Structure formats: structure tokens, C-alpha cells
Amino acid sequence: MSHITFPNSLITPQLLAENLSAENLIILDASMKPVTNIGVAQPTVPTYIPGSLRFDYDTHICDHNTSLPHMMPTPEFFTEEMQKMGIRKDSAIVVYDNVGVYASPRAWWMFRAMGHDNVAVLDGGLPAWINAGYETTATLATPTSRGDFASHPRPELIVDSQTVTHALSDSAFSVMDARSAGRFKGQEPEPRAGLRGGHMPGAVNLPFAETQTNGVMKSPALLREIFNEYQNKKLIFSCGTGVTACILALAADQAGVKNLSVYDGSWTEWGASTSGLPVEIG
């Protein structure tokens, strides 16, 4: 049995199919229902890549001591849950979702933030897997043994509102917002109740859809064009709840940008009417 190491943060359906027998392969379904309409039909019946385990960071693998959605859990909790799932220090982890590339980059970024680099997002997700003619199953797998996964946190990869506040007034940083232009400008309502419209003063709008074509990530060359003017910046990504911000992190990673962070609380924290944090419209 062979071991696989991913040279890249994206993996094609073909490459995954060719390595399904790799001894250290772990496949995680990180699907989450989109909070806004993104025009992609989700499967009506449970559909998974064979051997998939469920990685639910929305209700389970998250911080349960906050009202903010799916915030990062403690390293101790993450370690325990990954070990229960049979994940090991040498595991090669593929994360995917049933939309395309939507919820899965958040799972990829969580592993990176916990110090595990041998993890890749399935480009195009479950739809691309199905379109390529590969087999699916209606059931999830169950872990067969306990793993020895260990978290080695990189706290600089997940930042808070204080760090973002500093970054907004520091020319070494750019804060990029993955929400739609309408939400960024305060012209469209926020999908979550109790949030102000608009954006952080000084933030740049890069809607996550601009990094993709039909749910597949654009080529590294096209992504380099998008991020070219930010090559020497420290980038912080924000969105509604810290999910699609990770799509921008994946896109920047593909473009070769190195200094990346995700604002965990994102607009749900910043835009709250009680946060006292500054908001701009237009």
C-alpha cells in the first residue's frame, strides 16, 4: 500500500480516483448548506465519495462557547475529535463539499491552522467527481481505529477583530471581503438577522465567485492576475461567517501569495449592531 503526499492545496477528481487505495488517505465531506443562493442544486439524496467521513464544522467541530457560528475550536478539542475519526499525523486528507468549492476550503484552512499541511481541496467538489463518472455511495464510512493526530496551532492563520482593526490602518496589510458587491456596499440585506449593511473602512471587495468558474477554481495564472497587486501584502480574508473567506485563502495560496490569515468572526461579529466596530456604506 502506498502513501500519498499532496504537493498542492487542490486535487483533481482524477488524481483522487487514482489514489483511493493510498494507505494514508482520509476523505472528508465538509458540506454545508449555503446561506445565500449560489445557484447550484444540492443533491436531493445523501451522496458521498466512497470512504468519506463527515467533517461537520458547523455544529460539531467548532467552538461551542460562543454565539458566533462555526468558530475555531480549541486545539485540544480538535485533536480529540480528529483522533476519534481515525486521522493520523501522516494522513493525507482530501476535503470536499456538495456545491463545488464552497464549504470545503474552510475545512482545509482549519487543518492548516492546526499545523497539518498534507490536506487538499477537491477541485469542483462532489459535482466534478460525479461529472467525471466516478462512483458514489449513499452512506458515510465509520472510523475503524483511533488516530494519533496532534494539533500544532498556527495562531497567525486565524485572527480576531483586534488584529483586523490594526490591519485596516497599516499599509502592510490588505483586508479582503469575500461577500457579494451588493452586501459589501450595503445595498443588499445581510442573510443573517441583526447585522448592519456595508463593510469595514479600508477593506477591499473580492467576491469569492470571481476566483471560480462553474464551481472549479480558476487556473493559478488567472488567480495570480487577481492577486498580483497584493503579492507583498499581508492578506486578511473576511466574509459573512468565515467560510467563503477561506475560498479567497485557497485562491491566494494557488496564486503563490504567502502571508495569509482568515478573520474568524467575519461580518457576523464585525457587522453586529452591538459590536461598536466602524462600518462604511457604498
Query: What positions carry a catalytic annotation?
Result: 239
Count CB neighbours of 191 within 10 A.
14
Angstrom distance (rounded) from CA 121 to CA 105: 6
Task: Look at the block and give the residue holding cell 463518472.
Answer: 133
3-state DSSP percent of the chain in helix, strand and coil, to 5: 30, 15, 55
Q: What are the start-end ranges of the H helices in the chain?
A: 13-18, 75-84, 104-113, 125-131, 161-168, 181-184, 220-227, 245-254, 266-270
Alpha-carbon Rg for the chain, nearest whole angstrom, is 18
